[in-house]
Amino acid sequence: MATQSLESSASTDEKPVKMRKVAAASFMGTVIEFYDFGIYATAAALVFADTFFPALGEHAGTVVSYATLGVAFVARPVGSIVFGHFGDRLGRKRTLIATMSIMGAATVLIGLLPTAAAIGVAAPVALVVLRIAQGLAAGGEWAGAALFTSEHSPQGRRGFWAMFTNLGGAFANILALGTFLITGLYMSDETFASWGWRLPFVLSFLLVVVGLFIRLRIEETPAFAAQAKRPRAESDGLPFKDAVVHQWREILLGAGSLVMAFSLGYIGIAFLTNYGTATLDLPRPQVLGAGMFGNLLNCLAIISGGILTDRFGRRRILLIANIVGIPWALALFPLLDTGGLGAFWVGMSVTFLIAGVGFGVAGSFLSELFHTRYRYTAAGLAYSLAGVLGGAVPPLVAATLIDGYGSLVFGIFLAVYCLVGLLCTLALRETRHRELIEPPLHAGETA
């Protein structure tokens, strides 16, 4: 009895320590993923039009720069399927080490890539290829990181621990913007455009080293370990096939429920940076500072969203975020177009606050929607589809819609995204009380 009591006490003491290590591993992974995406989005807004697409002119070059940003989002669903297959078959840990390595290598190579002035058309082609590699790795990274925390965490605090995955993304955006801000402050515009923009890409190597060190020390998740011990049934197919056959509805609705967070979040990190400097003619340091402050609030909103989901449920918090997003999308650009610096800071801040609540729900909500046997594939696919629809499309069409029809029309466009998120969330059930370790599916059963 005494031995059992001591063992129980030790287990209780070890659990918080273990969860902190698991959360750190997921946090660092998404720091690297979103840092790489964030610095690319910022560079696309500030310098890529002149560096890689000078022949197209300023407007067309900017549009094509955002198109290369979208290329990675298109690649993300493919990456979620490819790496999801290995994550569901070989384990979360091994797959996450591979995705982090690929993402880091592609980002450093972008920082070393010659410009169009040096090697001609080969420069933008190579940029697109490396961007696709980033997208493939990101498609496999997020789901694995989210499951790593969700499948390790206790049910009653799963929302809190799972939010660390997206918290890493918000922190990464602060790092990305801060790096550009510091390099911009200590360099002339000519120096920054010539080579200063490369520093944030090359410095990502340090993050990769730290991230790999942390991940190599973490055990596989209990849910996958339990699933791996079960004999595979004759009816079991490829993870992607089974996910689509058994839970296609949850994949589509799960993606739709998060398009609001992606659309507002990536408008903030990608488009508004360019809008503030090029259209509103605001000082670049102030624009980058507003982005950093907005992402700080984004961090707080992600933490709050994760905590609140454990108390009130994933679905309810996501519904509130989507509802609030609709009027804000309509008010955002009229506010920005007043041209004031204070208005720009408010616009950035509130946009990131609303998006952050949505991202705070995502990790636990998508993990709980799907069966263990294909959870990596299904959760990654849903998240990646949300990224394509919400993260890639709005920044790509923003300049064209605003130039052709005015900023209010683009605000309506964003409000429709929030409405889609609201309707999709209403169509899903609450998942807070669901266990993540369950018996395998048999022929004729659905998850």
Per-residue pLDDT at 286 exceeds 80: yes
Q: Out of 27-36, 140-149, 328-337, which region has the weakest mean confidence (pLDDT)?
A: 27-36
Least confident of 34-43, 100-109, 124-133, 237-246: 34-43
Per-residue pLDDT, 343: 95
Residue 306's pLDDT is what? 95
DSSP string, 247-312: HHHHHHHHHHHTHHHHHHHHIIIIIHHHIIIIIS---HHHHHHHHHHHHHHHHHHHHHHHHHHHHH
pLDDT band for 260, please (50, 70, 90 cuts): very high
Query: What percent of the chain has pLDDT above 90?
Result: 36
State in Å, rounded, how far the first CA of the chain is from the last one: 40
Q: What is the pLDDT of residue 323?
A: 97
pLDDT at 439: 56
387-413 pLDDT, tens digit per residue, is: 889 988 888 888 889 988 989 999 999
Question: pLDDT (tens digit, 9 = 90+) per residue, 114-167?
Answer: 988 888 888 888 888 998 998 898 888 888 888 889 888 888 899 999 999 999
What integer pLDDT is reported at residue 5 of this predicted model? Answer: 39
Task: Quote the DSSP letter at residue 389.
Answer: I
pLDDT at position 4: 39
Question: Which of 46-55, 279-288, 293-302 shows the lowest per-residue confidence on average (mean pLDDT)?
Answer: 46-55
User: Once rounded to an integer, what is the mean pLDDT over residues 160-188?
Assistant: 84
Q: Is the pLDDT of residue 251 over 90?
A: yes
pLDDT value of position 29: 79
As a whole number of angstroms, the distance between CA 120 and CA 407 comes to 35
CA-CA distance, 135 to 204, in Å (whole number)? 16
Residue 317 has pLDDT above 70, yes or no: yes
Mean residue pLDDT across the chain: 85
3-class DSSP string for the chain: CHHHHHHHHHHHHHHHHHHHHHHHHHHHHHHHHHHHHHHHHHHHHHCHHHHHCHHHCHHHHHHHHHHHHHHHHHHHHHHHHHHHHHHHHCCHHHHHHHHHHHHHHHHHHHHHCCCHHHHCCHHHHHHHHHHHHHHHHHHHHHHHHHHHHHHHCCHHHHHHHHHHHHHHHHHHHHHHHHHHHHHHHCCCHHHHHHHHCHHHHHHHHHHHHHHHHHHCCCCCCHHHHHHHHCCCCCCCCCHHHHHHHHHHHHHHHHHHHCHHHHHHHHHHHHHHHHHHHHHCCCCHHHHHHHHHHHHHHHHHHHHHHHHHHHHHCHHHHHHHHHHHHHHHHHHHHHHHCCCCHHHHHHHHHHHHHHHHHHHHHHHHHHHHHCCHHHHHHHHHHHHHHHHHHHHHHHHHHHHHHHHHHCHHHHHHHHHHHHHHHHHHHHCCCCCCCCCCCCCCCCCCCCC
Q: Which residue has the higher pLDDT, 242 or 396?
A: 242
Task: Name the DSSP class of 54.
Answer: G
Could you give the 3-state DSSP secondary structure of residue 430?
coil
- Please check the confidence at residue 284 and state whether its pLDDT lies above 90: no
State mean pLDDT over 334-342.
93
| The pLDDT value given to residue 58 | 65
| CB proximity list for 279: less than 8 A, separation 6 or greater | 402
pLDDT at 7: 35
- Distance, in Å, from the CA atom of 292 to the CA atom of 171, rounded to the nearest integer, reads 9
Distance CA 75, CA 54 (A): 25
Confidence of residue 8 (pLDDT cuts 50, 70, 90): very low
Helix axes 314-336, 407-426, angle to 10 degrees: 180
187-235: per-residue pLDDT in tens?
Answer: 777 787 788 888 888 888 888 888 888 888 778 888 887 877 777 665 5
| Model confidence at 341: pLDDT above 70 | yes
pLDDT above 60 (res 34)? yes
> Using one digit for the tens of pLDDT, what is the confidence trace for 53-94?
776 766 677 677 767 777 887 888 899 999 998 888 888 888
pLDDT at res. 235 = 56
Single-letter amino acid code for the residue at 409: V
pLDDT band at 10 (very low <50, low <70, confident <90, very high): very low
Mean local confidence (pLDDT), 299-316: 95
Give me the pLDDT at residue 216, please. Answer: 80
Q: Average of pLDDT values for 350-365?
A: 96
Share of residues in the chain with pLDDT > 70 (%): 91
